Amino acid sequence: MRHFVLPLLLAVAACAGSGPDRVKTTFQTSVGWRPTLDTRADVAIVYGTISPESLQERLQSWRDRGYETHYMTGIAWGAYQDYFTGKWDGRWHLDEGQVEASGDTIWHGKLIPYIVPTENYLKYFKERHIKPVIDAGVDHIFLEEPEFWARAGYSDAFKREWEAFYGAPWQPQDQSPEATYLSQKLKYHLYYRALDEAFTYAKEYGRSLGRDIKCYVPTHSLINYTKWQIVSPEASLASMESMDGYIAQVWTGTSRSPNYYRGVLKERVFESAFLEYGCMASMTAPTGRTLWFLTDPIEDGVRDWEDYRRNYQATFTAQLLYPQVDQYEIMPWPSRIYERLYPVSPGSAEKSRIPAHFATMMQVMTNALQQMPKGETLPSRYGVLMANSLMFQNKDPYLSDFFGLALPLLKKGQRVGMVHMENLGYEKALDGVGVLLMTYSNMKPLDPQAHQFLADWVKRGGIFLYCGTDTDPFQAVPEWWNTGENNYAAPADHLFERMGIAAGAPAGTYPYGKGRVGILRQDPKDFVLAEGGEKPLLEALESLDGPVNPQPLRLQRGPYRIVAALDEGNFGDLYEEGCLIDLYDPALPVYEKVNIPEGTQALFYDVEKAGKAPRILAAASRAYEEKKGRRSFSYICKAPAETWNVTRILLPAPPTQVLVNGEACQAQWDPRSKTVFLRFPNNPDGVKVEIGW
């Protein structure tokens, strides 16, 4: 029987990434330019080739407004009815949808199934959706969400792929752990192949025209896909020469999925978002691939505006705590955000468009991202090892074995990081990690070489904590550790052998080289499913490395100060001092001392780090054509129609005159910060602001 083995890159492998792109901010939209959607990002990513407006018309409408244009579509679903209904090649292909055991197809929309990416489908996709985009002048292609549902795997198309890949008859995945594991591993391979073929074609066709096509994958994190029981290539894409980078699709919808801590199941949006962004950042860090962080001011699910605002603030704060990333998708679907109606409060039948204060706050955020400085990757004393095989065996929608390792540390204010097993071959994969935690209760190693990398790291002085009972049924699936010349009862036994530890070793501490290995014979879910469950983990870490000391979770990025006041960790409220503009408040108030309540987040502009006046410090618009005179300052600002602008500007002296489009504007002077506050309606065509002093 054939088994798919991940390509584990060696440290000498060359990265295919081309370095940071010129653009800093993007958004995606399926429609052409409208005044209410003029976000003023650098790039408009136009979605889909099929729309009431042609692709070329939509692209040109954004170009005419000064945007660079890129292209995005789904690889696992999309408006591909011409393929499924036979208009492309004369044959119906609805049998290529993803099918559950019941025989039901999993749909994404009318005549839009989630797809088994067959070779015939890929031929159609390249001809109908890649080539026309390149012909339209687009050089950046995003193929999003390569998703195969874990519960699928029963269609005729999938059965044919099974027999071709494994050289053996198809097995229904619900009949055994082995069949489940093999089924999910095949799904994983199919979307790796799909992306590789599509991107390779795009690059080769581009080269034939003398152009360099960049190819990216917008994808949820490994954490989220595992929780939602979806299979996707994730970290293995690091080995794909034709792939240039990712968009980390993290937002309220992914991060509100509940998890357990201290026996309580609830939404922990900030903590989940922090770990999801970290998962994506660590997945790309050793590879040099381009990475954008996404936030969404709302989400797919219908909630109320206050819920959206509160959780947008949580996810926005989480992304800023990774200073090594300074490229952002500021929002998907601005038409959904600015133009649709949602409940005004929980349970209310009354609906409205986005409240003025939320729109203003959001635009202050997007403008801050345009200015956000990039920093060095902050070291994570504690790292949690992950593998793509998390998606192969997961039956726990709360992913408690993962959160059991991560949450007790994060709740102490520790910047817990992730390490992807697929990246261990890169020289810098474990940079900055002092203590590595792992388990095989929820994942398995797809390549034995990973164990040698881990053993070598410990031998050089690393501290390693293994947690697990090794009793789950997936320990015995036919894999490399129990086939051929190998006869290990559990993959951990092979790992321990590399470090001179006996198979099935009991709990305890074991020296190896300059490092230490701790074994804790509990599955990590025990650390979060009960009150006080985290104590054995923290005690084991203390015996290996000293106590896990609580610390505030804050970061200074240039003039921006980012703070998260964690709950459930006995921190209480936090206090920040300085000359601080509160960017989450659309009034942009200035504080000398401000309280951040437990369980909330804050983003400030530190005026003391602002530099020389005059300077725009915060605004719900983007400024152009700035002109500075000896006693004057002027600029043009642009933002979506039907929204309000707020601006706080650093000046050398109180203003004597403020004109907005030639008319006097009321200005509020703050002598402590030497800033002036303005408020006026936005206009995508531009508003001229002139200030004298």
Residue 381: CB partners within 8 Å, gap ≥ 6? 414, 415, 433, 434, 435
Report in angstroms the alpha-carbon separations of 290 from 17, 101, 173, 246, 593: 7, 39, 36, 6, 38
Section 233-253 average pLDDT: 93
Can you tell me the distance from the alpha carbon of 156 to that of 175, in angstroms, rounded to the nearest whole number?
Answer: 18
| Interior angle at CA 133, CA 331 and CA 50, nearest 5 | 70
Three-state DSSP string of 626-654: EEECCCEEEEEEECCCCCEEEEEEECCCC
- What percent of the chain has pLDDT above 90? 92
Residue 21 pLDDT exceeds 70: no
Asked if residue 649 and residue 629 are part of one domain, the reply reads: yes
583 found inside a domain? yes
**What confidence score (pLDDT) does residue 10 get?**
35
The amino acid that residue 76 corresponds to is A
Average pLDDT of the chain is 95
Can you tell me the distance from the alpha carbon of 664 to that of 680, in angstroms, rounded to the nearest whole number?
Answer: 11
Backbone angles phi, psi at 538, to 5 degrees: -65, -35
48 found inside a domain? no
Asked if residue 565 and residue 631 are part of one domain, the reply reads: no
Question: What does the CA dihedral 281, 283, 289, 290 come to, rounded to 10 degrees?
Answer: -30
Section 333-342 average pLDDT: 97
Query: Of 615 and 14, which is predicted with more confidence?
Result: 615
402 found inside a domain? no
Q: How confident is the model at residue 142 (pLDDT cuts 50, 70, 90)?
A: very high
**What confidence score (pLDDT) does residue 6 get?**
39
652 found inside a domain? yes
Asked if residue 666 and residue 648 are part of one domain, the reply reads: yes
192 found inside a domain? no
| Nearest CA-CA partner of 520 in 543, 549, 550 | 543
Structural contact between residues 631 and 655, judged by C-beta atoms closer than 8 angstroms = no
Structural contact between residues 241 and 269, judged by C-beta atoms closer than 8 angstroms = no
Q: 543, 575, 609 — which closes off a domain?
A: 609
pLDDT digits (tens, 9 = 90+) for 503-542: 999 999 999 999 999 999 999 999 999 999 999 999 999 9
619 found inside a domain? yes
Residue 8 pLDDT exceeds 60: no
Asked if residue 664 and residue 600 are part of one domain, the reply reads: no
**What confidence score (pLDDT) does residue 416 get?**
97
Pair of tokens at residue 278: 């970290």
Asked if residue 654 and residue 592 are part of one domain, the reply reads: no
Asked if residue 628 and residue 559 are part of one domain, the reply reads: no
Whole-angstrom distance between the N-terminal and C-terminal Cα of the chain? 80
Strand segments (E) across 243-333: 245-248, 259-261, 264-266, 290-294, 328-332
Residue 633 pLDDT exceeds 80: yes
379 found inside a domain? no
H-helix segments, 44-176: 55-63, 81-84, 119-125, 131-135, 156-166
Chain mean position to CA 338: 23
Asked if residue 678 and residue 620 are part of one domain, the reply reads: yes
Minimum mean pLDDT among 4-13, 59-68, 426-435: which range? 4-13
Predicted TM-score (pTM) of the model is 0.96
Q: Tell me 478's DSSP state.
A: S
Residue 683 pLDDT exceeds 80: yes
pLDDT digits (tens, 9 = 90+) for 603-629: 999 999 999 999 999 999 999 999 999
**What confidence score (pLDDT) does residue 9 get?**
37
Question: What does the CA dihedral 300, 333, 278, 455 come to, rounded to 10 degrees?
Answer: 90
Q: 609, 635, 655 — which closes off a domain?
A: 609
| CATH assignment of the domain containing 654 | 2.60.40
Q: Tell me 14's DSSP state.
A: P
| Structural domain count of the chain | 2
Report in angstroms the alpha-carbon separations of 580 from 245, 559, 561, 562, 648: 35, 10, 9, 11, 12
546 found inside a domain? no
Edge-to-edge strand order for the sheet containing 615-619?
615-619, 644-650, 675-681, 668-670
User: Which of helix, strand or coil describes residue 363?
Assistant: helix
Can you tell me the distance from the alpha carbon of 579 to that of 491, in angstroms, rounded to the nearest whole number?
Answer: 55
Pair of tokens at residue 319: 């992304």
pLDDT digits (tens, 9 = 90+) for 46-77: 999 877 789 999 999 999 999 999 999 999 99
Asked if residue 687 and residue 619 are part of one domain, the reply reads: yes
Section 434-446 average pLDDT: 97
Section 490-504 average pLDDT: 98
Boundaries of domain holding 589: 553-609
Asked if residue 602 and residue 622 are part of one domain, the reply reads: no
Asked if residue 633 and residue 571 are part of one domain, the reply reads: no
Query: Of 481 and 570, which is predicted with more confidence?
Result: 481
Q: 609, 634, 649 — which closes off a domain?
A: 609
Can you tell me the distance from the alpha carbon of 401 to that of 413, in angstroms, rounded to the nearest whole number?
Answer: 20
Backbone angles phi, psi at 384, to 5 degrees: -110, 125
Q: Tally Cβ neighbours within 10 Å of residue 597.
A: 12
Can you tell me the distance from the alpha carbon of 571 to that of 11, in angstroms, rounded to the nearest whole number?
Answer: 41
